[in-house]
């Protein structure tokens, strides 16, 4: 087990099973990953990790892609987006606060478009090859490109939460189905 600088076991490893850690890693994936990568992140061995991943595929939580040289696993991004939209709805924020947050994210992207005269994170990355920049500026632009992509994903989710605000309202009682 991993030890931190004080010599105590890592809290996550002390309070979770290997299966728990695999599930946590798998649910947080933002891109397809191999069993070995997930096992390493979870601090667990390959074979039990693979069994957990297969159960997650069977449960519809993960998808498996066998088209490349290595089998990879990735989450159901629609499910992740819906869960995040529900968390936003349940967070205690008002629809007005989320609308303000959405406007701020969009303004930040417009500022980057204007500052760098580009229309996308990849175009910003392309400026690294086109312009003579020092290492700090290259690092800054790479970080901005990553943040830009993150904001684009957040804009979609926050926008969905706003559009579907009433639908996402938590229900206190099950609704009856009539035939």
Band of pLDDT at residue 75, cut at 50, 70 and 90: confident
Asked if residue 151 and residue 132 are part of one domain, the reply reads yes
Q: Which of 116, 88, 114, 101 is nearest to 151 (CA)?
A: 101
Segment among 26-30, 38-42, 61-65, 109-113 with least mean pLDDT: 26-30
Does residue 30 sit in the same domain as residue 102? no
Mean pLDDT over all residues of the chain? 87
Give pLDDT tens digits for 153-173: 899 999 999 999 998 887 765
In a domain? residue 45: yes
Give 88-138 pLDDT, tens digit per residue.
999 988 999 999 999 999 999 999 999 999 999 999 999 998 778 999 999
| Residue 10 binned pLDDT confidence (cut-offs 50, 70, 90) | low
φ, ψ for residue 9, nearest 5 deg: -65, 150
Token pair belonging to 168? 């996402």
For position 51, which CATH number holds? 1.10.10.10
Q: Is the dihedral of CA 55, 58, 60, 66 positive or negative?
A: positive
Q: Do 138 and 156 share a domain, yes or no?
A: yes
Into how many domains does the chain fold? 2
The whole model's pTM is what?
A: 0.64
For residue 5, is it within any domain?
A: no
Q: At which of 38, 60, 75 does a domain end? A: 75
Domain co-membership, 88 together with 67: no
Tell me, yes or no, whether 132 and 66 share the same domain: no
- The residues facing 34 across adjacent strands are 72
pLDDT band at 14 (very low <50, low <70, confident <90, very high): low
Q: What are the start-end ranges of the H helices in the chain? A: 11-15, 18-27, 35-42, 46-58, 77-90, 95-116, 121-130, 135-163
63 and 90 co-located in one domain: no
pLDDT of residue 3: 47
Residue with tokens 């695999």: 22
CB atoms within 10 A of CB 73: 24
Burial class (CB in 10 A: 0-12, 13-18, 19+), 99: middle
Range of the domain at 22: 11-75
Q: Are residues 59 and 90 in the same domain?
A: no
């Amino acid at each position: 087990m991993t030890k931190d600088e004080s010599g105590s076991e890592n809290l996550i490893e002390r309070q979770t099973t290997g299966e728990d850690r695999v599930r946590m890693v798998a649910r947080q994936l933002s891109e397809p990953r191999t069993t070995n990568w997930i096992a390493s992140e979870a601090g667990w061995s390959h074979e039990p990790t693979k069994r957990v991943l297969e159960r997650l595929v069977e449960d519809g939580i993960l998808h498996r892609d066998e088209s490349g040289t290595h089998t990879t696993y990735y989450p159901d991004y629609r499910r992740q987006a819906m869960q995040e939209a529900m968390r936003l709805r349940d967070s205690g924020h008002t629809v007005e606060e989320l609308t303000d947050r959405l406007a701020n994210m969009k303004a930040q992207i417009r500022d980057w478009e204007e500052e760098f005269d580009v229309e996308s994170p990849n175009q910003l990355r392309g400026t690294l090859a086109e312009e003579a920049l020092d290492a700090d500026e290259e690092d800054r632009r790479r970080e901005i490109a990553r943040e830009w992509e993150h904001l684009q994903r957040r804009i979609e989710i926050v926008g969905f939460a706003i559009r579907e605000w009433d639908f996402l309202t938590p229900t206190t009682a099950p609704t009856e189905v009539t035939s």
